[in-house]
Amino acid sequence: MVTIAQIWQDFLAIIRQEVGSRVVETWLKALVLERWDETSRTAYIRAPNTFVRDWVVNHYRALFDEHLARLFAVESIQVCFLDKEAQTQTATVVVPARLLIEEREQADARKNQTINNTYQFDTFVVGPSNSLSYAAAHAVTERPGFAYNPLFVYGASGLGKTHLLNAIGNGIKKKYRKLSVLYQSADRFVSEFIHAIRFDKVDLFKDKYRAVDVLLIDDIQFIAHKEQTQEAFFHIFNSLYESSKQIVFSSDTYPSQMHGIAERLRSRFACGLITDIQKPTVEEKIAILKRKADGMGHMLTDDVADYIAQQPLCNIRELEGMLVRLYAFASLTGQAVQVDLVKKVLQRPQLAVQKRAHSLDDIFACVIKASQYSATQLRNRSRNKDVVLVRQVAMFLMKKFSEASLQEIGSFLRRNDHSTVSHAIDKIQKMAPADARVRAIVERVERSLAL
C-alpha cells in the first residue's frame, strides 16, 4: 500500500521536473503532507508559517490540485493549507523555528562563499582552447578593478570556468590581503535573495554585496526569468562598477544570447572583456589527465592517457570522473591501469549518464541544423504542421539531453505553458519508433551531440 510519505515524495519529484529544483528546495520542502481524508477527499498540507503558506497558495496552488488528485487517484480534490502559526501563537513554536532557519541560511551562505583553495592558476592546464580566458583572469588578479572590468567568461559546463574564478579569488587574496573577495554561485545568490525577502532583509542583502571589493559570480545564467533578482543585481552591479570594484562572471552562454535576462543587464555583462573556453583538444586532454593523475598520487602512462583522450569525453569533469572510476576499479580488482582496463571501465553505464547533459543552446543548434528550420521559425507561433512537429522534437530532445525543467524548456522556446512541453515529449516518444522522419531528426541530433 502506498503511504502518504511516498505520495509526497512522488509529488515533489513531479514538481522538480516541471518547475525546477529551486522551487522545491526553497519552498515546497518546508511543507508536510500531514493528512489525507478519504471521505471528503481533502489533503491537508502543513506549512511552517503564514508567509510560506500564502506564498505557496498564491504561486503554486494549481500544481497541488492537479498532481495530488492524480497521485491519490481521484477526479477532484480539496487541498487545505494550514500553518503552525494558525495552530498556536506561542513563541516556542514560531520564534525558534524562524531562528533555526536563519541560522541554517547563514551557515549555508558562509559555506557557499568560501573560495576553493585547490583552484589555483598553477594547477590550470593552459592550451589553445582557454589561453585568452586564462590570460585575462591573470591580468585581473594583477590589477583588480582596472584591467578588465567586468570580465565575462563563457563556455560549456565542466571546461574550467569555476576553476578560473576561484583562481582569481585566491590570487587576489594572496596579492591584496586587505581586499574583500566574495565568490558566489548565481543559484545561491537567487536563494539568498529570496530568503532576504522572506525575512525583510533586502537592504542588508544589498549592503553585503556592495561592500565587497571583488565579486565573482559563477553561472550567472541562473538568474534568467527572475525579474526581482535581476533588479536587485542591476543596482548591485552599478554600485560596484561605479566604485571601480572588480566583477567577474561565468556563464554557459554568450551575453547577447542569454534568454530571460533583461537587456540592460546583458549590455552590462558585455561592457568589459568577454572571453570563451572551448572544448579541449586531444593534446590538452592528455595534459589534463596527467595533471589530475599526479594530483591523485598516480602516474598515468602515455598510451592510457592517449586512449582516454581519444574518447568523446568533452569536459574536464568527465575526464576527472573517468580517472576516479579507473583507479577505483583497478584498486578493487587488483588490476594494473592499462588500456584493456580502460576499455572495461568505458563500457560501464556510469559514463552514459555523464554524457547526457547538454545546454539548451547546443541542442537547439543541432535541431536547427538537422531540420533546416531557423530559430525564429521554431520559436514563433506558427501552426504549420511541419514546424510544430520539429518544435516538439526539440522539446523531447531538450528534456532527454539536458537537465532543464519543463518550465525552462518552455521559456527557452517561448512557450508559457509547461504542459505544452509535457504533451510534446509524450507525443514524440510514441511517434519516434514508427515515424521515419521523426526518427531521422532524433538520430541526427543525437549523433551531433555525441561529437
Same domain (yes/no): 248, 137: yes
Residue 292 lies in a domain: yes
Give the three-class secondary structure for 250.
strand
Helix (H) or strand (E) holding 54: helix 50-71
Number of domains in the chain: 4
How far is Cα 428 from Cα 438, in angstroms, rounded to an integer?
8
Same domain (yes/no): 184, 223: yes
Residue 102 lies in a domain: no
Q: What's residue 99's pLDDT?
A: 40
For position 311, which CATH number holds? 1.10.8.60
How far is Cα 350 from Cα 354, in angstroms, rounded to an integer?
7
Same domain (yes/no): 271, 129: yes
Residue 149 lies in a domain: yes
Give the three-class secondary structure for 223.
helix
**442 contacts 393 by C-beta, under 8 angstroms:** yes
Q: What's residue 84's pLDDT?
A: 66
0.75 exceeded by pTM: no
Q: Report phi then psi at 286, rounded to 5.
A: -65, -45
Same domain (yes/no): 201, 265: yes
Same domain (yes/no): 128, 268: yes
Residue 92 lies in a domain: no
**181 contacts 209 by C-beta, under 8 angstroms:** no
How far is Cα 409 from Cα 404, in angstroms, rounded to an integer?
6
**397 contacts 363 by C-beta, under 8 angstroms:** yes
**304-319 burial by CB neighbour count: b if 16+ within 10 A, else e?**
bbbbbbebebbbbbbb
Q: What's residue 350's pLDDT?
A: 44
Same domain (yes/no): 31, 63: yes
User: What are the helix and strand counts (H, E) for the chain?
Assistant: 22, 8
Q: What's residue 267's pLDDT?
A: 93
Last residue of a domain, one of 339, 354, 369: 354
Same domain (yes/no): 233, 125: yes
Q: What's residue 96's pLDDT?
A: 37
Q: What's residue 98's pLDDT?
A: 40
Q: What's residue 367's pLDDT?
A: 87
Going residue by residue through the chain, which has 451 residues, state the pLDDT in tens, using 9 for 90 and above: 668 888 898 888 888 877 777 778 878 888 999 989 888 889 999 988 887 888 888 888 888 988 888 888 887 788 999 876 555 332 222 333 344 344 444 444 444 456 888 889 988 888 888 899 999 999 999 999 988 999 999 988 778 899 999 999 999 999 998 999 999 988 889 888 888 887 788 889 999 999 999 999 998 988 888 888 999 999 999 999 999 999 999 998 888 888 888 999 999 999 999 999 888 888 888 888 888 888 778 888 888 888 888 877 667 777 877 787 787 777 777 788 888 888 877 765 444 444 456 888 888 888 888 877 788 788 887 778 888 888 999 999 988 888 777 878 888 888 766 778 888 888 888 887 777 778 878 888 887 776 5
For position 425, which CATH number holds? 1.10.1750.10
Residue 383 lies in a domain: yes
Last residue of a domain, one of 87, 105, 138: 87
Prior bond of 96 cis (ω within 30°) = no
For position 32, which CATH number holds? 3.30.300.180
Same domain (yes/no): 147, 211: yes
Can you name the residues that pair with 181 across neighbouring β-strands?
Answer: 214
**53 contacts 81 by C-beta, under 8 angstroms:** yes
How far is Cα 163 from Cα 115, in angstroms, rounded to an integer?
10
**8-41 burial by CB neighbour count: b if 16+ within 10 A, else e?**
beebbebbbbbbbebbbebbbebbebeebeeeee
Q: What's residue 314's pLDDT?
A: 61
Give the residue numbers spanning the domain of 404. Answer: 360-450
Q: How far is CA 54 from CA 32, 50, 60, 101, 445, in A?
A: 15, 6, 10, 18, 44
> C-alpha cell of 95?
520564534
Last residue of a domain, one of 246, 275, 304: 275
Residue 330 lies in a domain: yes
Same domain (yes/no): 342, 421: no
Same domain (yes/no): 242, 293: no
The full DSSP string for 87-100 is: H---HHHHHHHHHH
Strands 32-37 and 42-47: antiparallel
**182 contacts 215 by C-beta, under 8 angstroms:** yes
Residue 101 lies in a domain: no
Give the three-class secondary structure for 243.
coil
Same domain (yes/no): 134, 214: yes
Residue 312 lies in a domain: yes
Q: What's residue 354's pLDDT?
A: 43
Same domain (yes/no): 334, 411: no
